[in-house]
């Protein structure tokens, strides 16, 4: 026997309840975004490595340790995308969609990071991303947050907490960085290994440490909110006013800094305690300098990404996924030469009543075994077609969810009869 080939560690098959939750989440998110006037964009999975090193930051963990990069046949360095924003920015610049225009876009697909796999964190994972270009005001920040709140409501998700912060302008953050480094240098002997490494490269990320031993040090650090420029303070106050007006509860988390270098001003996360340590299910913020950084003209921008696997886990754990494959009618075929008329009748019902889910038994089987399949399918009715029914041009219509009587229906009357049982 040949040796079994298995999937790459951290790159998982999605099936059963997992794929039902995945599809339901994406479909609901797409419907919600379209309700707000957003449009879909499809982006490549592979990009030039330079795109991510220039946008995310060369000294971030993603670029330094987590990206899947390879050299193509022409000698160029390519990467599997670790996140979606940089590719979307590249796309709007390259296709002339960014300058002096407002673009409200969404996308979905796989991302890749070489991380230690654990629940809610995989090497291939999926995100639903939203990006807005050309709007610099706090009202669009608020719209992105409120539409996510509306999505949670549609999905029936509860126990999600909104955390917000402001990172201020790039200039204000440079001044703050100096104060933070000075403070952390004084307590360097108390920092963990990751924090010592980040002290010279990305000290703001130390504030977002998950190490409980670092809690007192982080709490004693200077607060970025106390060092914002005036315009960023006004922007943040206006955002909070909008959220108050909309009835969106939030917590100001001064240590929320996000892991990517391109953010400025508004940052936010939706978090839960239902998934253990991997509690962030949606995160984003404003990145007004990124379009210019990648080669476009100065363009304000803001967006967010949702982790589909994490949200799908919440849906499954909370029994929030509607049944998407339960048929209304199961067609039972018994006897010789019944497959061809069975196919014709099944298609006739699907054509005339497209709102119905019709499942036909394939592969034969005894009358008893087919009825077991029909019952397990969850269908409300079984259409029974045997040799005698074909000769008489009738079907037997048997209820499967109650004790009402089986009926005999002529082929010519079947559509009218079913339309009464299943009004559109």
Residues 382 and 350 in one domain: yes
221-233 b/e with 16+ CB inside 10 Å = b? beebbebbbeebe
Which range marks the domain in which residue 341 is found? 329-421
Residues 29 and 164 in one domain: yes
Helices (H), 286-364: 290-294, 308-317, 339-352
pLDDT > 70: percent of the chain: 96
Domain end, chosen from 317, 348, 367, is at: 317
Residues 154 and 243 in one domain: yes
Confidence (pLDDT) at 259: 59
Confidence (pLDDT) at 263: 81
352: CATH: 3.40.50.800
Residues 350 and 241 in one domain: no
Domain end, chosen from 290, 317, 344, is at: 317
CA distances from 421 to 373, 376, 381 (A): 22, 21, 10
Residues 244 and 310 in one domain: yes
Domain end, chosen from 317, 346, 380, is at: 317
Residues 397 and 270 in one domain: no
CA distances from 385 to 119, 393, 404, 412, 423 (A): 48, 9, 19, 15, 23
- Residue 294 is assigned to a structural domain of this protein: yes
Residues 343 and 416 in one domain: yes
- Residue 127 is assigned to a structural domain of this protein: yes
Confidence (pLDDT) at 402: 87
Question: What does the pLDDT look like over 159-207, one tens digit per residue?
Answer: 899 999 998 888 887 788 888 888 888 777 777 777 777 777 777 777 7
The three-state secondary structure class of 201 is helix
User: Considering its fold, how many domains does the chain have in total?
Assistant: 2
Average pLDDT value over all residues in the chain: 88
Residues 311 and 343 in one domain: no
| 82 band by pLDDT with thresholds 50, 70 and 90 | very high
Question: What does the pLDDT look like over 380-401, one tens digit per residue?
Answer: 999 999 999 999 999 999 999 9
Residues 364 and 413 in one domain: yes
- Residue 176 is assigned to a structural domain of this protein: no
Predicted structure pTM score: 0.83
Does position 266 have pLDDT exceeding 90, yes or no? yes
């Amino acid at each position: 026997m040949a040796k079994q080939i298995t999937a790459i560690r951290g790159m998982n098959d999605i099936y059963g309840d997992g794929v039902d939750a995945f599809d339901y989440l994406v479909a609901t998110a797409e419907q919600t975004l379209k309700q707000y006037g957003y449009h879909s964009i499809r982006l490549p999975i592979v990009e030039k490595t330079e795109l991510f090193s220039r946008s995310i930051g060369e000294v971030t963990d993603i670029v330094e340790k987590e990206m899947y990069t390879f050299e193509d046949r022409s000698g160029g360095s390519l990467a599997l995308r670790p996140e979606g924003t940089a590719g979307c920015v590249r796309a709007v610049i390259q296709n002339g969609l960014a300058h002096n225009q407002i673009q409200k876009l969404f996308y979905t697909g796989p991302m890749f990071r070489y991380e230690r796999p654990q629940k809610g964190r995989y090497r291939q994972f999926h995100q639903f991303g939203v990006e807005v270009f050309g709007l610099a005001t706090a009202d669009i920040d608020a719209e992105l947050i409120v539409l996510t709140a509306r999505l949670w409501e549609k999905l029936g998700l509860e126990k999600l907490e909104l955390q917000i912060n402001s990172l201020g302008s790039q200039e204000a953050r440079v001044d703050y960085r100096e104060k933070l480094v000075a403070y952390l240098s004084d307590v360097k002997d108390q920092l963990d290994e990751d924090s010592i490494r980040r002290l010279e490269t990305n000290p703001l990320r130390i504030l977002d440490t998950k190490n409980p031993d670092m809690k007192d040090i982080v709490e004693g650090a200077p607060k970025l909110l106390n060092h914002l420029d005036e315009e960023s303070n006004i922007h943040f106050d206006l955002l909070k006013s909008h959220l108050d007006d909309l009835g969106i509860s939030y917590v100001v988390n001064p240590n929320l800094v996000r892991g990517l270098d391109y953010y400025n001003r508004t940052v936010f996360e939706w978090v839960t305690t239902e998934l253990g340590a991997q509690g962030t299910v949606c995160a984003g913020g404003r990145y007004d300098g990124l379009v210019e950084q990648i080669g476009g003209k100065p363009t304000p921008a803001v967006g967010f990404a949702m982790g589909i696997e994490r949200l799908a886990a919440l849906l499954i754990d909370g029994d929030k996924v509607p049944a998407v494959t339960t048929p209304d009618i199961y067609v039972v075929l018994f006897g010789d030469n019944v497959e061809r008329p069975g196919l014709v009748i099944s298609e006739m019902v699907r054509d005339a009543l497209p709102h119905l889910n019709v499942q036909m038994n394939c592969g034969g089987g005894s009358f008893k075994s087919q009825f077991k399949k029909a019952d397990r399918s969850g269908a409300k009715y079984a259409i029974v077609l045997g040799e005698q029914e074909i000769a008489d041009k009738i079907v037997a219509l048997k209820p499967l969810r109650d004790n009402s009587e089986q009926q005999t229906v002529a082929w010519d009357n079947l559509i009218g009869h079913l339309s009464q049982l299943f009004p559109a």
